[in-house]
Amino acid sequence: MSHTAHIPSHRKPRRSASKLALRAGVAGGVLSTIAVAGAAGPASAEPVTETIEMPTLNADLAGGGLSSAVAASAETTHQIALDQELQSLEDASAAKAAKDAKKAKAEADRKAAEAEAKRKAEAKAQAQAVAERASRAAERTTLTAASADSGSDSGSSSDSGSSSDSGGSSVEASLPSGSAAAIVAFARAQVGDAYVMGSTGPNSWDCSGLVQAAYRQAGIDLPRISGDQSSRGTEVSLSNLQPGDILYWGSRSGSYHVAIYVGGGNFVGAQNPGTGVVERSLDYDQPSGAVRVL
């Protein structure tokens, strides 16, 4: 039996390879140090029989701290990237909103300018129309007043002549027939009606409205405006008039007043607001010319 059999075993449980290597290195260093110390010391020194257990490093703890630091750094970097992306989106959104607002303002300004231009054009057109109507009315009033002052006596004789026409043989010789008769009859039937500018009957008329309605009785459609009516048909002399001819005042293509010749030297027309529709002698208001449409 070995002389060491009675000594209890001090063997420790098997360690892992990494820990065994670490301990072996540390133990080797310690033993080398002791051996050198022993060699240098007195020869009578007793051998060391106590086993020294060295502390071990906890590699798991060191690795965990490093991982946490790396994770925290990555999180910070990610948050900074998110903040920068959000700021970029906000800047782009603000720039787009400003651009859209500028475009909307420009469009609103353009529409406002167009509306203002249209309003001014309409106001100008209305003012011109009013001025033209006032000018025509003034011309008719001036001509009517001048004719009334110079021929009041002739007006009285024409009235008496009109009475004699109702039963005189001279009028019977010039009585119209056919379409002319229908036109003359309608015009005379409106004598006494009011004059209203723009009116076309049945109880008030302006000059061209009366002529247009009278010719409609003969199945003839005339334009609404006096200048257009006097441009129709054929020009005839005032000395060669026939019942139903259209008399005009002013130029033929630009007349401002029209009436219907009814025979016997008389005409029927819607003269002005003061007289209404009347039958008068040509001397009452000498026309500028005449046209024959029939």
Residue 156 lies in a domain: no
Q: Is residue 31 part of a domain?
A: no
* Domains of the chain: total: 1
Residue 264, in any domain of the structure:
yes
Evaluate whether 270 touches 209 at the Cβ level (below 8 Å). Answer: yes
Let me know: does 148 contact 286? Beta carbons within 8 Å.
no
Q: Is residue 32 part of a domain?
A: no
H-type alpha helices, the chain? 17-40, 59-150, 152-165, 169-173, 178-189, 207-216, 226-230
d(CA 241, CA 62): 132
Angle at 223 between CA 218 and CA 226, to 5 degrees: 105
Q: Does some domain include residue 22? A: no
DSSP letter for 236, please: E
CB 260 within 8 A of CB 266: no
Q: Which residue is associated with the tokens 């063997």? A: 11
Handedness of CA 138, 143, 145, 146 (dihedral sign): positive
Query: Considering the domain boundaries, does residue 45 fall inside one?
Result: no
Q: Give residue 99's identity as a one-letter amino acid code.
A: K
Contact 291, 233 (CB under 8 A): yes
| Domain interval for residue 212 | 176-292
For the record, the structure tokens of 201 come out as 């009957």
Alpha-carbon distance of 293 to 231, in angstroms, equals 10
Structural domain includes residue 190: yes
* H runs (alpha helix) in 151-225: 152-165, 169-173, 178-189, 207-216
* Sequential pLDDT tens for the chain (294 residues): 455 555 555 555 555 555 555 555 555 554 555 554 555 545 444 555 555 555 554 544 455 677 787 888 888 888 898 888 889 888 888 899 988 988 888 888 888 877 777 777 666 665 555 555 555 555 555 554 544 454 444 444 444 444 334 333 333 345 677 889 999 999 999 999 999 999 998 999 999 999 999 999 999 999 999 999 999 999 999 999 999 999 999 999 889 999 999 999 999 999 999 999 999 999 999 999 999 998
pTM assigned to the model: 0.43
Task: Assess if residue 184 is contained within a domain.
Answer: yes
CATH number for the domain harbouring residue 251: 3.90.1720.10
